[in-house]
Amino acid sequence: MSNPQRVFHGTGLGRVIVLNLKRGDLLLESVRDLLAREGVKNAALLSIVGSLQKLVYHRPLSFAPSAEDEFITVEKPMEIGMCSGMVINGQPHFHIVAADPQETHVGHLEEGTTVLYLAEIMLCEIEGLSIQRKLDANKTAYFEQM
């Protein structure tokens, strides 16, 4: 029998926050700065559109009980095709799809990702949600009520 699903509820949606980044800005670091400055604890990532000159991400390599990840850095002009994610307890967790002229890249967004021309980021704050991300013995993330 599988583990029961863990479900958590917020009380509603709060502010919609839009961040506009320009050439050379660090994407994930800029989002983290915004979250701290605005006091955002929990949010849904609604959208990221734009272009990148450098993408840093990781992706899984195996079915092992503990994550075995490959970290990849690509320095080419790229278009962001999609980015989804959430902010839990002030920490962003975003997954990205971006394409350069030859390849499509998919994975967990990492620090060092750099904007080419612009990036427009929209977040919606979630009110009344009190959870945190923790790691189990296999270093797999799960949520726990605070």
Residue type, 27: L
Q: What is the CA radius of gyration of the chain?
A: 16
Compute the average pLDDT of residues 131-141: 86
What is the model's pLDDT at position 70? 95
CATH topology classification for 14-127: 60s Ribosomal Protein L30; Chain: A; (3.30.1330)
DSSP assignment of 70-137 equals: EEEEE-S-EEEEEEEEEEETTEEEEEEEEE-SS-EEEEEE-TT-EEEEEEEEEEEEEES--EEEEE-T
Closest Cα partner for 111 from 31, 36, 23, 34? 31
| pLDDT tens string 51-92 | 999 999 999 999 988 889 999 999 999 999 999 999 999 999
- The residue ranges of every structural domain in the chain are 14-127
pTM of structure: 0.91
**pLDDT for the residue 67:** 83
Give the pLDDT of residue 142.
83
Q: Which two tokens stand for residue 8?
A: 């958590």
2 band by pLDDT with thresholds 50, 70 and 90: low
Q: Report the SS3 class of residue 7.
A: coil
